[in-house]
Amino acid sequence: MPDIVIKKIKKGGHGHHGGAWKVAYADFVTAMMAFFLLLWLLSSATEEQLQGVSMYFTPETISQNESGSGGLLGGTSLAEEGSMPSEFGSPTISMDIPPVETPEQREAIRVAQMEEQEFNEAQEELLKAIEANEELQGLEKNIRIENTDEGLRIQILDEDGTAMFPSGSAAMAEHTRLLLQQVAAVIENMPQDVSIEGHTDAVPFNRTDGYSNWELSADRALATRRALEEMGLQTARFAKVAGLSDTDPLLPEAPENESNRRISITLLRGTGERSELAGDGENAPAAPNGTVPAAPAQPQAPQGENQRRPTFSVPSQQ
């Protein structure tokens, strides 16, 4: 029996591949573990917690634009006016930044406050003086005081059959002069310029010399100016004396009503010499009782200065 020879051929090895794959596999497993951990945290967190995480990664931006974008369309829609809100953006809170006031503006505000206080005190003082005067009892209805944009307006008018001037005459009645004395005592030491206007009703004159309501209203205004000057007001304070006839009725729906016959005395706002009041509050003049007048609680900015205020938006924390 022949010998059987079995030949075994040993193949050579492929060499050593190294352990780099293990590092890559470990990184992959770590990333997958972190991913599934993140999914588990998101599924178990509340809505408030998710909002807090979102706000943590949302930067706070400051923009001078009033719209939601500074791009070509400025955050506006082509179909509708205004800004188009984003469905994914965080809610924002818009706040106004007050403009920086110059020293001149602060001084103007302070003077306006003082003037407003002067008008309020003058109105109160005049009404109390008329009420306390026995000779003027019953004439409270013949005087009206109002604080207007032009200034403090004091009107002496005919009411309930009591006339301030005889019909068709510029000769002042005695009770009218008594009323003017109270007015002069209150406004004599105030700094504002004075405007006087005469008004009549719409009842025409029937005089052959051409004398009309125009002349009558002007004569009554001039008579009022002369009386106030005699009572102590300085001539330089009279800024205007005018007769308006029936062109500015107190009751437009009843032009022939007796209340339209009146004299208007206005302390013009923002006028007069106020050099003694232009300094600091420490130098402000004291009131008659020796106390310094208190400033009004609510400051008022000068009218006609509508300044544009810059705005900025910050993300809401709610």
Which three-class secondary structure state does DSSP give residue 266? Answer: strand
The CATH 3.30.1330.60 portion of the chain extends over: 103-283
DSSP-assigned letters across all residues of 298-317: S--PPTT--PPPPEEEEE--
- Both tokens assigned to 162: 């009591």
Judging by DSSP bridges, how do beta strands 194-199 and 151-157 pair with one another? unpaired
> pLDDT tens digits, residue range 168-203?
899 999 999 999 999 999 999 899 999 999 999 999
Count H helices and E strands in the chain, helices first. 5, 7
The residue-averaged pLDDT of 34-52 equals 86
Indicate whether this model's pTM tops 0.85: no
Mean pLDDT, residues 285-314: 43
CA 133, chain centre distance (Å)? 39
Q: What is the pLDDT of residues 196-245, one digit of tens each?
A: 999 999 998 778 888 999 999 999 999 999 999 999 999 999 999 999 99
User: For residue 241, what are the contacts with CB-CB under 8 A and spacing of at least 6?
Assistant: 195, 196, 197, 218, 221, 222, 225
Predicted confidence (pLDDT) per residue in 272-290, tens digit: 876 544 444 444 444 444 4
Structure tokens at 62: 């400051």
Could you tell me the two tokens for 65?
A: 């634009």
Q: What gap in Å lies between CA 225 and CA 243, rounded to an integer? A: 12
Q: Which residues lie below 8 Å from residue 317, measured CB to CB, with a gap of 6+?
A: 55
Hey, which CATH number is domain 103-283, 3.30.1330.60, 3.40.47.10, 3.40.30.10, 3.90.1420.10? Answer: 3.30.1330.60
| pLDDT tens string 254-273 | 999 999 999 999 999 988 87
The encoded tokens of residue 201 equal 């009703």
Name the residue type at position 8: K
